[in-house]
Structure 1
Amino acid sequence: MLNSGLLIDRFGATPQGEAPTPRYNAAPTQNLPVARFNPETKQRRLSLLRWGLVPVWSKDPSGAAKMINARAEGVAERPAFRSAFKKRRCLVPFDAYYEWRKVDGAKIPHAIATDSNGPDAFAGLWEGWKDLANGEWLHTFTIITTEANEATRHIHDRMPVILPPDRWSAWLGEEDVSPGELQSMLVPYPSEHMRVWQVGKDVGSVKNDRPDLIDAVQSRPAINPA
């Protein structure tokens, strides 16, 4: 859940366009709140962008679902992301995210968060794509991932890059940083500051978007056949 007033205060951003709707089970292709820096006005903006980056050179936006994430390794060189990495970095606010652990063929959903008071921020990239058929612009984003830390590795081998608040300004481009300094930010979040808990299977369907999805459930021991 992300309250728009809380986001504006936390990220020091000016709202732009439609106010974000609270989400308890965000999914690719949805419009979600993203914080960006406008170098002309010198202000941070909080606006809704679609999850799934569409490179500026794409013929159509159909491949966006394949670009919901960008691997930290090589993000500065990959054609789909290198321009955005240089000029269009953003923060993607979140309270917690879901990941699935594979156990004996089953997928067990977990919620993952930091121990901060949040909201926190993923490192993201954004892009603008113009539809030549109607002249309209589509603004999209992707979330950068890195190797999982010790707290989450048993669930998945990757995790989103979580940026602490003292890195937000540099990541957004509000201060001068080198490509090497940017790359150095794309590391796993400290394990000792992570929280992980099992949640119910209803989170597996994007049709479900309720506050109780984030609630912890008791892990059940495996039942051995007699």
Structure 2
Amino acid sequence: MADLFRATPTRTFNVPEQVYPGYPGIVVRDHEGRRVLQSMTWGFPVRLKGMKPTSKPKPVNNARDDKLLTPFWKHWFVTPAHRCLIPFTAFAEAEGPKGKMTRTWISVEDQPVAAWAGLWRPSDEWGDCYTGVMVDATEDLFDIHDRMPVILHPDEHDAWLRAPAEEATALVRKYPASRLVVDRTTEPWFKRKPVEDPTLI
């Protein structure tokens, strides 16, 4: 992964096969002009109204494109050093009737390992953590989900990590459905997940 993204690992860490919100995943970020590969928790921790002070925060695992300039996200988006790349081979969406949903995997045809545009920040609760930017899905994928990750083309990686907010905003767009591969499975969406093998992306 480090070789693919021309990054240097910050330290040795284990890599889960599947990544779930609230669990560790891999990101690539810019640090003093060079790319580093780092393990972070997926999701910005947030405490909702009514939650007890001692309760575990909820992971906000994606950022809507139309909310990037709101107070919750703005600093992390407009500051290039807090944008990151989230490597993935496929992402999953739920399909089917409630209680019987199955996993539909979506991958990028011409990118065996692609990058989802992300943001990262330090947190008191989980240390460094990240989230992914989402846009409205293309019409071809609307029957699966109405939102989709912002998937970057390889030649856009540097701009996402280093460019001013105006240039980064232009990269926040839909990825062509013609270049995505949809794999519908019979795998249940809800299943027991072992703690040592954290989920998707």
Normalization by structure 2: what TM-score? 0.84
Q: Over residues 11-50 of structure 1, what are the superposed CA-to-partner deviations in whole Å (9 max), with x where a residue is unaligned?
A: 0000112334241x320111111000012xx210001000
Query: Structure 1 counterpart of 2:151, which letter?
Result: I
Whether 2:155 is the aligned partner of 1:169: answer no
Note closer, same or farther for the CA distance 1:130–1:207 as it changes in structure 2 (3 Å cut): closer
The offset of 1:103, in angstroms, is: 4.1
Q: Equivalent residue for 1:184?
A: 170
Query: Structure 2 counterpart of 1:27, which letter?
Result: Y
Note closer, same or farther for the CA distance 1:107–1:22 as it changes in structure 2 (3 Å cut): same
Whether 2:187 is the aligned partner of 1:204: answer no
Whether 2:71 is the aligned partner of 1:79: answer yes
Q: Which has the higher helix share?
A: 1
Whether 2:91 is the aligned partner of 1:92: answer no
| Among 23, 46, 50, the residue aligned to 2:37 | 46
Q: Over residues 123-167 of structure 1, what are the superposed CA-to-partner deviations in whole Å (9 max), with x where a residue is unaligned?
A: 000001246xxxxx7100001111011332110000111111111
Task: Please state whether the residue corresponding to 1:129 is helix, strand or coil.
Answer: coil
Task: Please state whether the residue corresponding to 2:2 is helix, strand or coil.
Answer: helix
The offset of 1:201, in angstroms, is: 2.3
Note closer, same or farther for the CA distance 1:61–1:83 as it changes in structure 2 (3 Å cut): farther
Unaligned runs of 5+ in 1: 1-6, 132-136, 215-226
The offset of 1:60, in angstroms, is: 8.5
Task: Please state whether the residue corresponding to 2:152 is helix, strand or coil.
Answer: coil
Q: Equivalent residue for 2:49?
A: none
Note closer, same or farther for the CA distance 1:154–1:73 as it changes in structure 2 (3 Å cut): same
Is the CA contact (8 Å cut-off) linking 1:99 and 1:110 kept in structure 2? yes
Note closer, same or farther for the CA distance 1:129–1:196 as it changes in structure 2 (3 Å cut): same
Structure 1 residues 155-166: aligned runs within 5 Å: 155-166=144-155
Counting aligned pairs with the same residue, the percent is: 29
Q: Equivalent residue for 2:180?
A: 194
The offset of 1:202, in angstroms, is: 4.0
Whether 2:122 is the aligned partner of 1:128: answer yes
Is the CA contact (8 Å cut-off) linking 2:102 and 2:188 kept in structure 1? no
Task: Please state whether the residue corresponding to 2:4 is helix, strand or coil.
Answer: helix
Is the CA contact (8 Å cut-off) linking 1:54 and 1:61 kept in structure 2? no
Query: Structure 2 counterpart of 1:63, which letter?
Result: P
Note closer, same or farther for the CA distance 1:61–1:138 as it changes in structure 2 (3 Å cut): farther
Q: Number of aligned residue pairs: give it.
A: 189
User: RMSD between aligned alpha carbons?
Assistant: 2.6
Note closer, same or farther for the CA distance 1:181–1:117 as it changes in structure 2 (3 Å cut): closer
Q: Which has the higher contact order (CA 8 A, sep 6+)?
A: 2
| Bigger CA radius of gyration | 1
Query: Structure 1 counterpart of 2:143, which letter?
Result: H
